[in-house]
Each structure stands twice: as structure tokens, then as C-alpha cells.
Amino acid sequence: MLVDEEETKTQIKLFEEQKVRTVWDREREEWYFSVVDVVQILTDSKDPKQYIKKMRSRDEQLNLNWGTICTPVRMKGKDGKSREIQAATSEGIFRLIQSIPSPKAEPFKLWMAQVAKERLDEMQDPEQGIQRALQEYRALGYSENWINQRLKSIEIRKDLTDEWKKHGLKEGVQFATLTDIIYKTWAGKTAKEYKEFKGLKKENLRDNMTNKELVLNMLAELSTKEISESKNPKSFGEHIQNAVDGATIAKNARAELEQKTGKKVVTPLNAKDGIGLIQDTKLSVLEEDEESK
């Protein structure tokens, strides 16, 4: 279960301003919730892992069925590294809640039901997903102009990854490699180098790009997609060349813009200090990584 990297994209959900790591299982069409995150929220425990041990020791049936209730799922930790942690579906979390006396239990159940409903609604009508993203960015304080650019960048990114999938490329290493090539060509930095330049750790890089950076990255990805469609690459090496060619178009545009304005396009500005973000208390809400998908 959930061992394929392309199935395990950590998303951060908020319950009363507290973070819950989640992963969507496409095959089963279910959310998996981090057990330790849920327990911490419901108990306010400073050591939720120790609480889980005590909970299992006092609930024999829970302990006996632990292996069926919980599943190791790869999620990102606070350090940004991906590792397997204990997770459970809504049904499994409901069972855990039975062993946790908490006034937050019922509100949390309702919240999980809403999270599940939103995802299923979005699958039926993708426009709802766009509207939800729009609301989240507004809540975070981004400017309307930036939001419009960001939503367009998501659309263009999806068009490119759909093109890659059509040719049999896999999410994960191959997507990340091509994305790094695109970044390196037009911006002079890999995704990791770009994030370090902006002082980011686990935050989403594109959520911390300026309008100019977003536009040029869109140009690079749009050009790569168009070139791929026209050349119909047969090997990964040909996809690499297409990525270089597409990103070179954005590189040339960047050079000309910098020459005309005397201003750098790629800057260390991030969401906290430079692109219209009013408040930074929820900056890590949108943590799903786009670089490998």
C-alpha cells in the first residue's frame, strides 16, 4: 500500500490552525492522515508518540488490530525529509478516536468528513479545486495579480506533466530531473539551489516566486510542452533536449528583460518578505511539492 512515490504527495491540512499531514490514495480514493499529528491535536500532548504507546497498552483490541488500522505511508517530516510514518484512513482515525477522550473528537470527525467531501467534489468538478486554491491564496494574503499568475502556472505545469505522462515518463525521479533542467537552464539554479537562494526549507518554491519568476517559468514549461508535442520524443534523452530548448526560450527572455530594465529577475525575495503576502502564519499550508509531479 502506498509505496509508489507518485502516489505519496504530502499535503498539509489545517484543523483549527493545527497542521495534519495527509496523503491521497488515488487507487482507493481515500485520504490517509498522519496518526501522530491527529493524536497531538486531540490530546495536546507534548509527546504524542508516547501517548500512542500508552493508548495501545490500555486498549487491547486496538493494539491487536493496530496493523490493520494503521499503514506505513511516506510523508514529509518537519525537516522536509520524506520517511514512512503511521497513517490511517478516516475509518481508522474514527477507531483511534474511540480510545482518546477529547472534546475535539466530534469537531475533528466533521472536519475529516469535509476534507473527504472536498476532494471527491474536486474529482467530479476540477473547477472546485481551482476555486479552493484561490480562496487559500487569498486567505494567505497574496495579491490578486500574483494569484492569477500562480493559478495559470498550475495549469501550464499540468499540461506539461500530462505531455510527459503521455510519453510514458514517470513521476518522481524523471519529472524532477526534467524540472531541474528547466530551472537550471532559464534561472541558473536547480530546484534545491533555487530554494536555498530564497531561504526556503520545506516551503513550495513556486509559492515563493515573484510575478516575473512565475511568468518566465511558465514560458519555459509551456515552450517545453509545445516542443515535445511537435517533436514526439522517443527517449528520455530527447525529453532532456526538449527541456533545454524550451527553457532556453525563457532564458533569452530573462536576459533581454534584465538588460532593458537593469533589474535581476531571479531574486531571494520570498512570500514572507517580497511578493504581497500580508501574514505568514500559515505559510506551510500549501506544501505539496510540484517539482516531482
Dist CA 34 CA 255 (whole Å): 45
CB 276 within 8 A of CB 142: yes
In this predicted model, which residue has the larger pLDDT, 217 or 102? 217
Phi, psi of 169 (to 5 degrees): -75, 150
Length of the chain: 293
> Which pLDDT score, from 0 to 100, does residue 125 have?
47
> Which pLDDT score, from 0 to 100, does residue 34 have?
92
**Threshold 0.85, pTM exceeds:** no
> Which pLDDT score, from 0 to 100, does residue 279 have?
40
Give the tens place of pLDDT for each residue, 149-161: 888 998 899 899 9
The pLDDT-based confidence of 132 (bands split at 50, 70, 90) is low
Give the tens place of pLDDT for each residue, 160-172: 999 999 999 988 8
CB 260 within 8 A of CB 249: no
> Which pLDDT score, from 0 to 100, does residue 286 have?
41
> Which pLDDT score, from 0 to 100, does residue 75 have?
86
C-alpha cell at 281: 502564519
Q: What single-letter amino acid sits at 96?
A: L
What radius of gyration, in Å, describes the C-alpha atoms of the chain? 21
Give the tens place of pLDDT for each residue, 184-237: 999 999 999 999 999 987 678 998 999 999 999 999 999 999 999 999 999 999
Give the tens place of pLDDT for each residue, 4-30: 333 346 676 777 778 889 887 766 767
Q: Which residues pair with 246 in a beta bridge?
A: none
Give the tens place of pLDDT for each residue, 228-284: 999 999 999 999 999 999 999 999 999 999 999 999 999 998 877 655 544 433 433
> Which pLDDT score, from 0 to 100, does residue 156 have?
94
Which spans in the chain are helix H? 35-43, 48-58, 60-64, 66-69, 90-97, 105-124, 126-140, 144-166, 173-187, 191-197, 211-231, 236-261
What are the domain boundaries of the chain?
A: 5-124, 126-285
Whether pLDDT at 175 is above 60: yes
The pLDDT-based confidence of 117 (bands split at 50, 70, 90) is low
